[in-house]
Structure 1
Amino acid sequence: MEAWMNTISPFVRKVKILKSSSLSGEWVDYDHVFTYIEQGEADFILNGVKYLVQEGDVLLMSPFMSHIIRTTSAAPVIQYIFHFDLYYDGERSAWTETGITMDKQRQIPEREMRLASLLPISHLRPADRIELKRSFLMMHKASLDERGNNALLMKAVCIELLFLFLKGQINSGSHEGKMTKGWVFIERTISFINGHYWDPQLDNASISKHAGISTNHLSFLFKEQLNITIHKYLMHVRIEQAKQRILEGGKTLTVIAREVGFSGIHLFSRAFKAMVGVTPSHFQASNSKLWK
């Protein structure tokens, strides 16, 4: 064990259990993301390297490691996830939300990158999976309780789960990933869409022009590597942005539709229902308690 490992003092920021059936976009976080696969199989693309993960695998993503998930099994993927800092810092501990919302979050202390050189995937033996799930569920329960001593419990569990990840590295030789074909163009496209989804004129031609590749070839790469069309990914980003605005409250659906790139409320409503399963107005009514 390296000497610096004796100095770590983790701060657990968020604990959650997610169930997903399809690609949900690209994430880049300012903290570490620990993910255990409880069910299903998926391709994880981490900084352009693709790993096929399945039940019993653990992924550890360092700050600013971009990651895309695409399910590859009939069963939805269930992930046990927690976000954490490797070292406690008073200012950073006040950042309770995940995702980058402030410029200062882009300034990563050097000591937070000490795990970045590790292979980001481990495969756990059955006995270790049982131990991990028991500990994670204890952490999850503690995260829902606001009593002060639970922060210490979550810190202790975080160290235990990091140990299980490192222990599983011994069994991860078969999980070496390979560079995703055309990743530079896919990443460029995703970044451009995330920054320009609000433009109603955004289409495959303008997106591929920015990516520096032909429209046909970019469409081929998206379908081959992510199993999704460029247009569907754009729709996903727009609808996710719309959902966030609806939950925040204070704006009409017409205004929200315009802000996320739809030329009219009717087109927005049809796209929203096709992707979410309910109309925007129904979604708004069902979640009104979150923002009233």
Structure 2
Amino acid sequence: MSTKSNEFPRQRKALFRDWSPSIHYAQIQRMPAGKLAARRIYDFELLFVVQGEAATTIRGERLSLPAGQLIFLPAGVVHQNEAVSKPETIFLGIHFDFFDELEIQTEADVIVNEAYLHPERFAHEAVTDDFRPLSNHLVYTPTLECVQWMEQLVHEFTMRPLGYELACKALMMNILLQLMRLQHERSRPLSSPHDIRLLELIEQIERRPALAWSNALIAERLNLSTDHAARVFKGFAGLPPNEFIQAVRHREARRLLRESDLTIEQIAEQVGYAGIHYFSRLFRRVEGISASEYRKLSKVL
């Protein structure tokens, strides 16, 4: 049987009800700067950059991965990961398959040893008529909600409370669906001037979350009435403008809490909140813990 890398990933068309993702490994890791050996894996991996910067060379292309992005690494495809930031980069990695088809006991069941290759072990990527395969586009910027699901999955897999397998399976289905929806939105043709302006506006919000964004300002940028602008923004981004802006600010606050020594008051101001008390209430409402507790926990991880 031929096992050339360009034949992968193997795919299997299946209804969503037939998907049954199984988690083989889920962990947060710190990696010193440098390249890892090129490799292939029998399963699939989501590799999310928590802090720092990384890169992956795959299919002849070097893909840069700043903090907040993840790469979907397909079964059977040669790739080489790299921690770019010094002294280290922090990753969240999840190894899985779509159909619970692999029996994973040791690292040798995940990492391919080319001298002792087992072609029958390569897992299949689930594909459906409703979405393009995730392997069509490898790099994603997950939403805050999706990142929280990944963190919860790592917690469940690590602590292994009663019923953790079911919890991991449910979380993984949510994560995969979120990524497929992101790809669907990204691949949608920009068919109107509204779409083009919305894409530019969202990029501006991502770059400058601390700007005093308001419905009125967004309407002005889109050259629409306030109500119409709010409707088309939600239709394009999936969230009303105020919720989208809060999500971007929260994501930036999490990054600064992990990566900087700024005070919480300075972080609140830097992401666009004038008052620390309002910022603190919002942060606790989303995370379930205070900003200071989140910072302490991130240092442990």
Name the TM-score, length of structure 1 as normaliser. 0.49
Name the TM-score, length of structure 2 as normaliser. 0.48
